[in-house]
Chain A
């Protein structure tokens, strides 16, 4: 894909104390570093997202380290406990150092 895009799903409203699921997708080839070029036989350099962090109102609540075995266009789901209304910030970092961010608002009732 031309540009890296992400999709995030969280419930719009949750009750305080409730545990909700966060589902996320990001477009990325996740070149594993284990493949060889079909014609030249040369190893294709690794180019993957290696780090994911979820921050909830400024506090890191969940993170994940990834290796070459995570599938292309990575899917990740995890859970967060609702405390206050605010923002959920997701950030993916790849081998080139690029950081892809996506913010979603959440209303806690």
Chain B
């Protein structure tokens, strides 16, 4: 088994060598052509601003993302926050951040008790492998956070 694995890698690398050279560079810019350097601190800062000094708790949030994204152009994200969604107790907003993107803010969802459930899905761009962060603001002011890592294989081959 071990030797087979090695063999695959050899063959893989060779096909790679033949196809990657200039394409790699092209792929790098095709996604974002990042002008601003990504900085994790930007997300940390944005989240602490949202929290306004309150404790940031974990739990309640289910963040669904692929472990490995085939293409950073279109990464499906689904988020759900556990809440009764009544007038007295509901999720006001969920904010999504991509720590490694030049501009970390991705989207915010604003719910009401009329939403029934605090659940939404979008597709987003990820410039590279990174953490995706969801921050939920509850109607009582409490703040929850969840983080998931997504590996991004940038597809630069195949035209």
Distance, CA A8 to CA B119, complexed state (A): 17
Closest to A33 in B: B103
Distance, CA A77 to CA B101, complexed state (A): 23
User: Are the C-beta atoms of A70 and B125 separated by less than 8 Å?
Assistant: yes
Q: Confirm or deny: A108 has a beta carbon within 8 angstroms of a beta carbon on chain B.
A: no
Q: Confirm or deny: A5 has a beta carbon within 8 angstroms of a beta carbon on chain B.
A: no
- Number of A-B residue pairs, CB cutoff 8 Å, is 102
Q: Is the interface of A mostly helix, strand, loop or mixed?
A: strand
Residues of A within 8 A of B36 (CB): 34
Residues of B within 8 A of A69 (CB): 98, 101, 103, 105-107, 124-126
Place the interface of chain A in its size category.
Answer: 20 to 34
Distance, CA A72 to CA B121, complexed state (A): 15
Shortest 6 CB-CB distances between A and B: which pairs? A19-B116, A81-B116, A61-B114, A71-B123, A69-B106, A65-B108
Interface residues of A (CB under 8 A from B): 19, 32-36, 43, 56, 59-72, 74-81, 83
- Ordered by A's residue number, 13 sampled pairs between the chains whose C-beta atoms are within 8 Å are A19-B117, A32-B103, A32-B125, A34-B33, A35-B33, A59-B114, A62-B120, A65-B107, A69-B101, A70-B122, A72-B74, A74-B122, A75-B121
